[in-house]
Chains A and B, each alone.
Chain A
């Protein structure tokens, strides 16, 4: 049984022993949802968050390009050949991820152009390719994006539909803190420690996701470690 926004809020209120009207609950609810969603999306690398975007095109003789700011971590990038074609009629040339240093040394300028062979992430949403493109190739970027958060106007998400139990549990972690008024070190010495532990968990998942952005994750790809793949290659 999955949730929708209404049933999720009702269940959450039941778990938190909240009765209407509860304006404080209404105020904290978006934060509860955000906490639960961010943690699950970071830790699970759900396939449902993988998006293919072909809205960006390279500029001839210009090695840099800006990809959609909706991307959290890029999995792969292809150029579609010949120049000017789209995903419907072009042929993909998959680019190899390299460090920016490699790109700067192997393709230092735009004097030599061709079909790009490699790319480097230069910022969160900027890439550089090498060699510099000899045409306006369309980029097909595949990566993860954060789905729209659960709300009144977006009453169903993958988490409420497919992972309702996990979503509720993650929600209750933050809700529990809220119910205890987030405590103080003096009234509850354990409170700070438990938040520190929670921070460490969140930090670990955030760090994993950041490593993925750099293609420094499992096997130096953008993929997280799979516990089923033992031994891990690379």
Chain B
């Protein structure tokens, strides 16, 4: 027997929702609007909850911002949850140079004595407002052009049930999605199964999370370079 030769398994959110109800013991021909309304809410809240456990690597994207002389603060897309790595790019072509810059907290930023100092930026503060911003320090000077590049984790896209939309998660997370949705729905519609489904949901989510990493060696090194100048 031949194998399928395809890796196209990615059912729509609607199909996953019907499956989640099936796990709760509610059959497809018995589902009413209120079931679906709760399912849409549960799916949205679950993805929001997963966003809090970020980084979800599939939602990481590289953002580029051209820095302006004398301007310290720049608007960030409101769907950005976290800034991971950031670097400053100067020059282009053969002269292009990327230099990593470091995040600082609000407290650290507040501790800088001269926030208007203009120089090549070496650090940034990501202010997690509803309309978030990123503030450079030192403030970009006019000596050369600076481009800020940062890897941002974006919010997972909305889970809409209609028209065959698929979930904004990798296929390897679909098991966690299904069990998680079933566990949430079971609280309302299958309380006798809620505990069992919750356990399965946590297990599936844990497996998915463990695999959502970059498979690279990790090095830990003390920052003692300053002692050897």
Contacts and interface: CB of A to CB of B under 8 A. Distances in A.
A127 to B, nearest CB: 13
A214 B25 contact: no
Contacts of B36: 101-102, 105
A97 interface: yes
Interface size class of B (residues with CB under 8 A): 10 to 19
A97 B33 contact: no
B162 A98 contact: no
Interface stretch (A20-28, A41-49, A107-115): A107-115
A215 interface: yes
A97 to B, nearest CB: 5
Nearest to A114: B164
A107 B164 CA distance: 8
B33 A101 contact: yes
With most chain A CB atoms within 10 A of its CB, the pick from B28, B29, B33 is B29
Interface string A13-57: 000000000000000000000000000000000000000000000
Interface residues of A, number: 25
Contacts of B213: none
Interface in B127-149: none
B210 interface: no
A228 interface: no
Contacts of A98: 18, 28-29, 31
Contact of B163 (A112, A118, A120): A112
Contact of A131 (B28, B31, B163): B163
B1 interface: no
Contacts of A114: 164
A141 to B, nearest CB: 17
B29 A216 contact: yes
A156 interface: no
Nearest to B28: A98
Contacts of A108: 162-163
A182 interface: no
A105 B28 contact: no
With most chain A CB atoms within 10 A of its CB, the pick from B18, B27, B36 is B27
With most chain B CB atoms within 10 A of its CB, the pick from A99, A101, A105 is A105
Interface string B155-177: 00000011110000000000000
Contacts of B14: 102, 105-106
Contacts of B29: 97-99, 120, 214-216, 220
Interface of A: 96-99, 101-102, 104-109, 111-112, 114, 117-118, 120, 131, 214-216, 219-220, 234
9 contacts: A98-B28, A98-B31, A102-B28, A106-B163, A108-B162, A214-B29, A215-B29, A216-B30, A220-B29
